[in-house]
C-alpha cells in the first residue's frame, strides 16, 4: 500500500516560488491501477517523482508498505527504488545498449549474476512480445516497441509498484491501446500496483480502477473511475469529462440524459453507429461533443451524447451501444 | 633571398636524402609522442571532465562550490597560457619527472600539461550531451552515482568522446611539432632545424606534408570509429 500524506513541494527559482504540490494526500491499494490525471502543469510528474524520491518533497511523507521513503538513507533508498520502478514518456532506454543489455541493466546495478540476468531478460522479452529483438538497438525499434522494452526493463527487478509517467503520450492511439493492454496484463498476472500519470481521459478510462484528479497542485477529486466520471463535481473534472467546453449550455439535463461513449479500438469505422441507432432503435441521440480518431480500421476516442426520452430510452441506447465490441458506455 | 634560391636542385636533393634517412624515425617519434601524450592527458582529463559535470549543484555528485571553482580556474589558467610559453614554464617539471628537459621523451611533460585541461573541457562537453532523462531513469532504478558515471554517462557518450579525442590528438600533434623549437624530436624538429636554421625549405615542406598526412589519418580513423560505434545511427 502506498500512503501519500500531506505532501508539499515548492520549487524556488530566480523567478520566484512555484508551489507544485499543495497538501496532497492519497492512498493507493495493492493491485490497484491508479490513475492520476490533470492538465499539464497540474503537478502530476512532480507527484510521481516524489513517490520514489527522485524529487524530495518539501513537506509531508510517502509511506510504501509502511516504510517512510523520505527517511531512508541513500543506500537503502536505492535498494527500495528497485521495487518501485518507472517507465517514461520518452522511454529513456540506453541508446548504446541493445535491448537485452537494456533489460539486464537494472539487474547489473543490483549485482545479479550475468547469466541469471540474461535468462530473466529473455523471459521478459517474451512477456512483452518482443522475443526476436534481443540484439536490436533502441534506435532500430518503433516507439511502441521501445516502450515494451522499457516495461520489460522496469519489471526486471520484480517490482511491487510500476510508475507510468505519461507512458503512452508519445504513442499513436493504436499503439497506446496495445501498451495499455500489456500494462493491464502485467497488473493481473503479476499483481503489481500500477500508478498511471496521464493527461488523457481515455487512458484512465481504459485501464484504471481508481482515479485522482490533480489541479493546480491539489487533489480536487478522488474515487472509483466510474463514479468520478459519472458525476464530476469539481471544475477540473468537468473540464476533463466534458471536453471542448460542452456542458449544460448546449444540453438541458431536464430533457435528456447524457452518456459518455468511449471507443477503445472498436471496429466501427465505416459504420454510421449513431444513425443506425436512430433508424433501428428509434433513439434520437444529440451529439454534444465528439473526438474520435480512426486508426487501422479501429476507432479511438470518446463521444458525449444526450439521450432524450427518459430512463427507458437511455437504457435502450446503452444496451445497443454496448453490443458493439470495445465500446464503453457510462451515464454522465 | 629570392624564391629561386629557396628551391634549388641541391636543396631538393637534400630533402630527398633527409626524407630517406631521418624522416621515418621522425614520423615514428611524432606518432608515439602524440599518442602517449594524448593518452596520459585522457587519464587526467577524463576524471576532471566527469567532476566538472557531476560536481555541479544539480549534478549527481555535487562538490563543494570552492572545489569546483578551483578546478575550473586551474583549467582555464592552463588553457590561457600559449603553448610556446608553457613549454618553457614546465622545464623544471620535466627535469623533475624525466630527468632532462631536452629530447623527445621530455616533451611529453609540456604536451600533457597543455592537453589535459583541453581534454577535460572536451570530456565535459561530451558528457553534457547525455540525455538527462536517461540519467533520471538510471536513478529511478537505484543506480549509485558511480554506477551512473561508469555505466550510463561514459558509455552513452562514447561516440562523442571518440570524436573529441580525435580533436585532442590532432591538436597535440600540432603542439608536438612546435616542441621542436625547444629541443623536442620528431617532424617539428626537422622542419625547424632544416627549414629555419639552414634554409632547407624543400625539407621543411616535406616535413609539413608528412604532418598533414598524419593529421588526415588520425582524423579519418577517429571519425570512422565514432560513427561505427554509434548505435543510434542504424
Taking only the tens place, the pLDDT of each residue in B16-38 is: 888 888 889 999 999 999 999 99
Percent of chain B with pLDDT over 90: 69
* Nearest-CB residue to B152 (from A82, A90, A94): A94
Q: Which residue, A97, A96, A95, A91, is CA-closest to A128? A: A91
Helix (H) or strand (E) holding A4: strand A2-13
Helix ranges (DSSP H) in A285-329: 310-322
Which residue in the block uniquely carries the three cell numbers 566527469?
A: B50
Residues of B in contact with A96 (CB under 8 A): 155-156, 158-159, 230-232
Q: Determine the Cα–Cα distance for residues A237 and A37; give it in Å rounded to an integer.
A: 9
Show Cβ contacts of residue A300 under 8 Å, excluding neighbours closer than 6 positions: A173, A174, A176, A177, A202, A263, A264, A265, A292, A293, A294
Is residue A12 classed as helix, strand or coil in its secondary structure? Answer: strand
Residues of B in contact with A160 (CB under 8 A): none
**Maximal CA-CA distance, chain A:** 67
pTM of the model: 0.84
Which residue in the block uniquely carries the three cell numbers 491501477?
A: A33
Burial of A39 (0-12, 13-18, 19+ CB in 10 A): middle
Rounded (10°) CA dihedral A44, A46, A51, A55: 170
| Residue B175: CATH number of its domain | 1.10.3720.10
Q: Determine the Cα–Cα distance for residues A117 and A156; give it in Å rounded to an integer.
A: 8
- Do B142 and A110 make contact, defined as CB atoms within 8 angstroms? yes
Range of the domain at B139: 3-233
pLDDT attached to residue A269: 67
pLDDT attached to residue A215: 92
Q: Determine the Cα–Cα distance for residues A299 and A301; give it in Å rounded to an integer.
A: 7
- Which of A99, A109, A153 has the highest number of chain B CBs within 10 A, making it the mutation to test binding with B? A109
- Do A94 and B155 make contact, defined as CB atoms within 8 angstroms? yes
**Strand pairing report for A218-224 and A256-266:** unpaired
Phi, psi dihedrals of residue A147, rounded to the nearest 5°: -65, -35
Q: Compute the C-alpha angle A206/A207/A211, nearest 5°.
A: 100
Is residue A292 classed as helix, strand or coil in its secondary structure? Answer: strand
pLDDT attached to residue A295: 62
- Name the residue of chain B whose CA is nearest to A49's CA: B140
pLDDT attached to residue A173: 85
Say whether the ipTM exceeds 0.95.
no
- Do B151 and A105 make contact, defined as CB atoms within 8 angstroms? yes
**CB neighbours of residue B58 within 10 Å:** 6
- Which of A11, A87, A94, A157 has the highest number of chain B CBs within 10 A, making it the mutation to test binding with B? A94
Q: Compute the C-alpha angle B154/B159/B165, nearest 5°.
A: 85
**Strand pairing report for A193-198 and A161-165:** parallel
DSSP state of B194: I
Taking only the tens place, the pLDDT of each residue in B45-91 is: 999 999 999 999 889 999 999 999 999 999 999 999 999 899 999 99
A with B: how many residue pairs have Cβ under 8 Å apart? 78
Which residue in the block uniquely carries the three cell numbers 632544416?
A: B194
Is residue A121 classed as helix, strand or coil in its secondary structure? Answer: helix
- Cβ–Cβ contact A145 with B under 8 A: no
Q: Determine the Cα–Cα distance for residues B110 and B190; give it in Å rounded to an integer.
A: 19
The separation between CA B4 and the C-alpha centre of its own chain, rounded to angstroms, equals 38
**Strand pairing report for A33-37 and A210-215:** parallel
Q: Determine the Cα–Cα distance for residues A154 and A91; give it in Å rounded to an integer.
A: 11
Spell out a b/e string for B74-113, using b for 16 or more CB atoms within 10 Å of the CB, else e.
Answer: ebeebeeeebeebbeebbeebeeeeeebebbbbbbbbbbb
* C-alpha gyration radius of chain A: 22
Q: Determine the Cα–Cα distance for residues B195 and B200; give it in Å rounded to an integer.
A: 5
Asked if A256 and A286 count as a contact pair (C-beta separation under 8 A), the reply is yes
Helix (H) or strand (E) holding A305: strand A298-308
- SS3 string, B22-82, reads CHHHHHHHHHHHHHHHHHHHHHHHHHHHHHHHHCCCCCCCCCCHHHHHHHHHHHHHHHHCC
Q: Determine the Cα–Cα distance for residues B42 and B36; give it in Å rounded to an integer.
A: 10
Show Cβ contacts of residue B178 under 8 Å, excluding neighbours closer than 6 positions: B83, B84, B87, B188
Beta strands (DSSP E) in A29-82 are 33-37, 59-64, 67-68
Question: What phi-psi label fits residue A166: left (phi over 0), alpha (psi between -120 and 50 degrees) or beta?
Answer: left
- Cβ–Cβ contact A158 with B under 8 A: no
Number of independent structural domains in chain B: 1
- Residues in chain A predicted with pLDDT less than 70, given as ranges, are 242-253, 269-270, 293-297
Q: Determine the Cα–Cα distance for residues A185 and A128; give it in Å rounded to an integer.
A: 10
Taking only the tens place, the pLDDT of each residue in B138-187 is: 999 999 999 999 999 999 999 999 999 999 999 999 999 888 878 888 89
Amino acid at each position: 500500500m502506498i500512503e501519500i500524506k500531506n505532501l508539499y513541494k515548492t520549487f524556488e527559482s530566480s523567478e520566484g516560488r512555484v508551489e507544485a504540490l499543495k497538501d496532497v494526500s492519497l492512498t493507493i491499494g495493492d493491485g490497484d491501477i491508479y490513475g492520476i490525471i490533470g492538465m499539464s502543469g497540474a503537478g502530476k510528474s512532480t507527484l510521481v517523482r516524489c513517490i520514489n524520491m527522485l524529487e524530495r518533497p518539501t513537506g509531508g511523507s510517502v509511506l510504501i508498505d509502511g516504510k517512510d521513503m523520505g527517511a531512508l538513507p541513500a543506500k537503502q533508498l536505492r535498494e527500495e527504488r528497485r521495487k518501485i520502478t518507472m517507465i517514461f514518456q520518452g522511454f529513456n532506454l540506453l541508446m548504446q545498449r541493445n535491448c537485452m543489455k537494456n533489460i539486464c541493466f537494472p539487474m547489473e546495478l543490483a549485482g545479479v549474476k550475468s547469466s541469471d540476468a540474461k535468462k530473466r531478460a529473455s523471459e521478459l522479452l517474451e512477456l512483452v512480445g518482443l522475443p526476436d529483438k534481443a540484439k536490436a538497438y533502441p534506435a532500430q525499434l518503433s516507439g511502441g516497441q521501445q516502450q515494451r522494452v522499457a516495461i520489460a526493463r522496469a519489471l526486471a527487478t520484480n517490482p511491487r509498484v510500476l510508475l507510468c509517467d505519461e507512458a503512452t503520450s508519445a504513442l499513436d492511439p493504436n499503439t497506446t491501446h496495445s501498451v495499455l493492454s500489456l500494462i493491464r496484463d502485467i497488473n493481473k498476472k503479476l499483481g503489481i500496483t500500477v500508478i498511471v500519470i496521464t493527461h488523457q481521459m481515455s487512458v484512465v478510462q481504459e485501464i484504471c480502477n481508481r482515479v485522482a484528479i490533480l489541479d493546480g497542485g491539489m487533489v480536487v477529486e478522488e474515487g472509483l473511475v466510474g463514479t468520478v466520471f459519472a458525476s464530476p463535481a469539481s471544475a477540473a473534472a468537468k473540464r476533463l469529462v466534458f471536453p471542448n467546453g460542452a456542458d449544460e449550455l448546449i444540453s438541458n439535463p431536464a430533457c435528456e440524459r447524457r452518456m459518455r461513449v468511449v471507443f477503445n479500438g472498436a471496429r466501427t469505422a465505416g459504420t454510421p453507429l449513431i444513425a443506425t441507432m436512430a433508424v433501428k432503435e428509434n433513439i434520437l441521440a444529440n451529439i454534444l461533443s465528439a473526438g474520435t480518431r480512426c486508426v487501422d480500421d479501429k476507432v479511438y476516442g470518446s463521444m458525449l451524447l444526450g439521450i432524450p426520452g427518459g430512463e427507458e430510452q437511455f437504457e435502450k441506447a446503452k444496451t445497443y451501444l454496448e453490443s458493439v465490441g470495445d465500446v464503453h458506455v457510462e451515464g454522465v | 633571398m629570392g624564391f629561386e634560391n629557396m628551391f634549388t636542385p641541391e636543396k631538393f636533393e637534400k630533402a630527398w636524402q633527409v626524407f630517406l634517412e631521418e624522416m621515418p624515425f621522425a614520423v615514428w617519434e611524432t606518432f608515439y609522442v602524440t599518442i602517449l601524450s594524448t593518452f596520459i592527458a585522457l587519464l587526467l582529463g577524463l576524471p576532471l571532465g566527469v567532476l566538472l559535470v557531476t560536481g555541479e549543484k544539480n549534478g549527481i555528485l555535487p562538490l563543494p562550490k570552492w572545489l569546483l571553482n578551483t578546478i575550473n580556474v586551474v583549467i582555464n589558467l592552463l588553457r590561457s597560457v600559449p603553448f610556446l610559453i608553457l613549454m618553457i614554464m614546465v622545464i623544471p617539471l620535466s627535469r623533475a619527472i624525466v630527468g632532462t628537459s631536452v629530447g623527445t621523451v621530455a616533451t611529453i611533460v609540456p604536451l600533457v600539461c597543455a592537453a589535459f585541461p583541453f581534454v577535460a573541457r572536451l570530456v565535459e562537453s561530451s558528457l553534457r550531451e547525455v540525455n538527462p532523462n536517461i540519467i533520471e531513469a538510471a536513478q529511478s532504478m537505484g543506480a549509485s552515482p558511480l554506477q551512473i558515471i561508469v555505466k550510463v554517462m561514459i558509455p552513452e557518450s562514447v561516440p562523442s568522446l571518440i570524436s573529441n579525442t580525435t580533436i585532442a590528438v590532432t591538436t597535440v600533434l600540432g603542439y608536438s611539432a612546435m616542441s621542436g623549437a625547444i629541443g623536442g624530436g620528431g617532424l617539428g624538429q626537422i622542419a625547424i632545424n632544416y627549414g629555419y636554421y639552414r634554409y632547407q625549405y624543400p625539407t621543411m615542406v616535406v616535413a609539413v606534408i608528412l604532418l598533414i598526412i598524419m593529421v588526415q589519418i588520425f582524423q579519418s580513423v577517429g571519425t570512422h570509429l565514432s560513427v561505427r560505434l554509434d548505435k543510434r545511427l542504424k
